[in-house]
Amino acid sequence: MDEFFNSLTGLISSGVTIAGLSAWLGNFWRDRINSKEKARNEIFIEQLKTEHARQTQSLEHELQIERHAVQLGHAKLIEKRAMFIDECYKLLVDLHEAIYDTIRPDYFGRKRPSIQQAYEIALPKFDAFVESYEKNKIYFSRKTSEKVSSFYVAAAKTLDQSRVAMRSGESLGQGETPNLQKLFEKVEYEMHEARKAVEQDFRQLMYVQEN
C-alpha cells in the first residue's frame, strides 16, 4: 500500500514537473516569437520612416524647383510687360509730338511745317502706335487702357480734322480754325492723362514710387 502511494505521489510530482516545464517552454517560445515579431516590426517601421524621409526630401526638392520656375516665369513676365509698356510709351510720345506739330497754334510766327507735311508725318506714327498698343494692351491696367484709348480716339479725330482743314485750305496760325483749336485742347488733355497713367503703370511694375 505504501508503495502504491509512493508511486502515485511520484507520478503526481512528475506530472506537476512536466506541466511546469511545458508552461515554461510555452512562455519561452512565445516570448521568443514575440521578440522576433517585434524586431521585424521595428525594422519595418524604420524602413517606412526612411522611405517617408526620402519621399519628403524628394517632394521638397520638386517644390523648390517649381517655386523657382514660377518665380522665373513671373520675372520674365514682368520683364516682357516692362518692354511692351516702354515700347508703347515711346510710340505714344512720338505720336503726341507729331499731333502737336500738326495742330499746335503758333502765335509767334515761327517757321513750321505745313499742315500737309505734319499730317503725312503724324499718320504713320498714329498707325504704328495703335497697332502696337492693340496687340499689347493686356499688359496695361484697365484704368490705363481706358485713358490711352481715349487719347488715340482724340488723336484720330484730330488727324481727320486736319485732313478736312487741308482740303478747305485752312492754314494754322492764319485765320480762324476753331475745330482744330478745340481738338488741340482735347488731345492735349487726353495725351497728358494717358502719359501719366502709362508712367504710373511702369513705376508700379518697377516698384519705383514717387517721392
Summarised one tens digit per residue, pLDDT across range 163-197 is 777 776 655 444 445 666 777 778 788 888 888 88
Question: What is the pLDDT at residue 101?
Answer: 67
pLDDT, greater one: 158 or 34 = 158
Q: Could you count the other beta carbons within 10 Å of the beta carbon of residue 79?
A: 10
| Domain chopping of the chain, boundaries | 78-205
Count of residues making up the chain? 211
pLDDT tens digit sequence for 3-49: 544 554 554 555 555 555 566 666 666 766 667 676 676 777 777 77
pLDDT-based confidence at residue 121 (cuts at 50, 70, 90): confident
Topology of the domain comprising 78-205 = Methane Monooxygenase Hydroxylase; Chain G, domain 1 (1.20.58)
Banded model confidence at residue 73, pLDDT cuts 50, 70, 90: low
Q: Are 148 and 137 contacting, i.e. CB atoms less than 8 angstroms apart?
A: yes
**Alpha carbon distances (Å) from 63 to 49, 58, 136:** 21, 9, 32
Q: What pTM did the predictor assign? A: 0.57
pLDDT beyond 70 at 97: yes
Express as a percent the part of the chain with pLDDT over 70. 59
